[in-house]
Amino acid sequence: MTQTPQRTAPIGVFDSGVGGLTVLHELLVGLPQEDFLYLGDSARFPYGDRSAPELRGFARENADILLARGVKLIVVACNSATSAAIDDLPLHVARSGHTVDVIGVVGPESNLAVARTRNGRVGVLATPATIASGAYERAVLAVDPLVRLTSVPCPRLARISQNGAPITEQDVELAREYCAPLREAGVDTVILGCTHYPFVGALLQRLLGPQVTLVTSGTAIVRRVGHALALRDLATPSEVEGRYSFLCTGDAAAFATIGSRFLQLPMGTVDHVALTQEAFA
């Protein structure tokens, strides 16, 4: 039986942890009348070192959790999950009997980066899983095949922000190592290909230089979500400020404490949700 979403239903957003709250923040600002339900899969963080089959499985279960709570649209606010599962996930949603659109972060970011580059040289900082998927290369070159793309895998950068600890000199050296290939390539635009990276955006900007434009998931995806809601006639009819709530697969208290810094708004209660045993395989 096909389940048609209601205009008053919330928009579902999921990520591997607190990083996707940078995307949620932009959605809350850009679409203040909408309700949102955010799922942080912190029990399985980080996603960046996982295989593509694992990520597809995680994405399916995360989507099922949100669909069971009646969301009208799903935003995959995780670059690694988007890269591995954005083609599979809409099919899974449809097979489960839902007419719910799925929007990932890679496409909107790539479009914005191509629009902003002045010299045709674009860089990507992302997790190893995202880089290995080739998703950004495909997305960027589909917009403009003449763009020169430099991709740098950053296996440890997401952990700097996820644990909430202060940035150390060792973290600075790590970030400097990741930025070096981009400086050598002369890029003028850099995609932050992980939703955790805006937390260290100021550091990355300092290392890359003021002439480099940073493109983040949050700023790129709000417009895409707005268009999807309008196309499906799913924008909420209310002009009242919307509500937002949170689910977490790991330590809910820790998620709330660290997450408030990413969201830059009150977190409120974070509810824990259990995962199936198979999801950890």
58 in helix, strand or coil? helix
Active site residue 179: no
37 in helix, strand or coil? strand
DSSP E strand boundaries for the chain: 11-15, 36-40, 73-76, 101-104, 121-126, 148-153, 189-193, 213-215, 244-248, 270-272
Catalytic residue (one of 78, 154, 179, 248): 78
Q: Contact 153/84 with Cβ under 8 angstroms?
A: no
Contacts of 216 (CB under 8 A, 6+ apart): 22, 109, 192, 197, 198, 201
Measure the CA–CA gap between 58 and 74, rounded to whole angstroms: 14
Instruction: Please name which of 103, 94, 153 lies closest in space to residue 124, comparing C-alpha atoms.
Output: 153
Catalytic residue (one of 154, 179, 194, 248): 194
Measure the CA–CA gap between 129 and 146, rounded to whole angstroms: 25
Active site residue 248: no
Q: Contact 162/78 with Cβ under 8 angstroms?
A: no
Measure the CA–CA gap between 109 and 97, rounded to whole angstroms: 29
Contacts of 176 (CB under 8 A, 6+ apart): 207
Measure the CA–CA gap between 6 and 13, rounded to whole angstroms: 17
What are 95's two structure tokens? Answer: 């097979």
Q: Which of the residues are catalytic?
A: 78, 194
